[in-house]
Structure 1
């Protein structure tokens, strides 16, 4: 006859596990002998090994007792159900691994490859990390709201980076938004932005016909991101209003 420690060792579990199986009713707890000790026989070892095997296979303890008492058909059906659950769990974990890998990859978290390439291009052009991070956060919102439109929008975004004035604006904004930067350069940034949007307006490129610009709550959300990311964003928008333009994501000429 075996002590609880010997039983646990034979079955490859801990004494604590044996006591837990007693508590939940999976393994009968023997009566104490005249000396006050509990002793276990061979059948207890077999039962405990079955419990451990099912538990190690991912069977919830609440189901283990049912399977131990099941006939062959019922057992087979239950095992297939458990297998399906485990397959679903594996798929979930594989998805989690991909998300963790994206997190380690930085920009690629929640962003499509086209946007990642765009952010890389900004860096190549000398745009500050702080400015690139702001762009990245904005594109995370955009990609979540309009995932199917990204591929159509990105060629125009890359084309804008061929304009020296646009590149100058990005670099200047990056410098202005650095901690301790001279706020007086915000006026210079506003002047450049006005020049860019007026040129675009003259070419008929500010008609805002895209349905995304009609999503007013979302446009407001993107504008709020500018202000929440840096309080100087609000000052820059004020300077734009002084120059006759309102908004940020959807720039419009004031009456």
Structure 2
């Protein structure tokens, strides 16, 4: 058989056959005087094995190891690992489809809706307010959801999940009022001694349930922290003063 006939018999391309030769998966056959390769039935058997194992999901390197083990011990090990990997992928795909089904139930979707289920519940407990501060709050939480490591997620998200449910109108009214006052404060340029800065800072802190705040204070990042600088740069001078005051107050027990 010529290379084209062999490839057609095994259902692969001639390019694949040459690639398998290059990798040592398929031994090079004898050549005629004119330089053409001549293949036999044994070559077709090996090539069909390569195709079947590849269709199962084995890498070419794994196929090389399997073909080198005449008793199939390597094949059993590789297939067991492959089956476990496929089971993990299947579970991940199932979880992703369940999350997609939840999102598709929404009448209107926002890009930040595609957060983790835990963060989606947290965002669902925030009032649907309009305005800069409300939007920044949600954007920051969505960013936090993306940037948290698996180790830190429970310690950060679990307390937030204890925020009051949407059925607490008094809490939500206070949140909306603070959002509105902070939006209005964007037009102000107060100094650090302005009493409104302290008042707004305390109103923000009072919205945080006390059990979320450690007794020894929060370990807040320093002013030179690049994330903090980028976060504060998104606010007006007056709003930055309020946020810095909040951080200083929370940094103390």
Structure 1 length normalisation: TM-score?
0.67
Greater fraction helix: 1
CA distance in 2, matches of 1:133, 1:48: 59
Gaps of 5+ in 1: 177-182
Q: Give the C-alpha shift of residue 248 in structure 1.
A: 2.6
Alignment of 1:1-255 (within 5 A): 2-68=1-67, 69-92=69-92, 106-110=112-116, 111-119=118-126, 121-123=127-129, 127-128=130-131, 130-140=132-142, 141=144, 144=153, 145-155=155-165, 159-163=170-174, 166-174=175-183, 184-185=187-188, 195=199, 210-211=213-214, 214-217=217-220, 224=229, 226-230=231-235, 232=236, 234-238=237-241, 240=242, 247-249=245-247, 251=249
CA distance in 1, matches of 2:26, 2:123: 56
CA separation of 1:78 and 1:208: change in aligned 2, threshold 3 A:
closer
The one of the two structures with greater contact order (alpha-carbon pairs below 8 A, sep at least 6) is 2
Aligned length: 227
CA separation of 1:12 and 1:198: change in aligned 2, threshold 3 A:
closer
Note the aligned Cα RMSD (angstroms): 4.2
Gaps of 5+ in 2: 104-108
CA separation of 1:168 and 1:89: change in aligned 2, threshold 3 A:
closer
The answer as to whether partners of 1:4 and 1:39 remain within 8 angstroms in 2 is yes
CA separation of 1:139 and 1:167: change in aligned 2, threshold 3 A:
same
Q: Give the C-alpha shift of residue 229 in structure 1.
A: 2.4
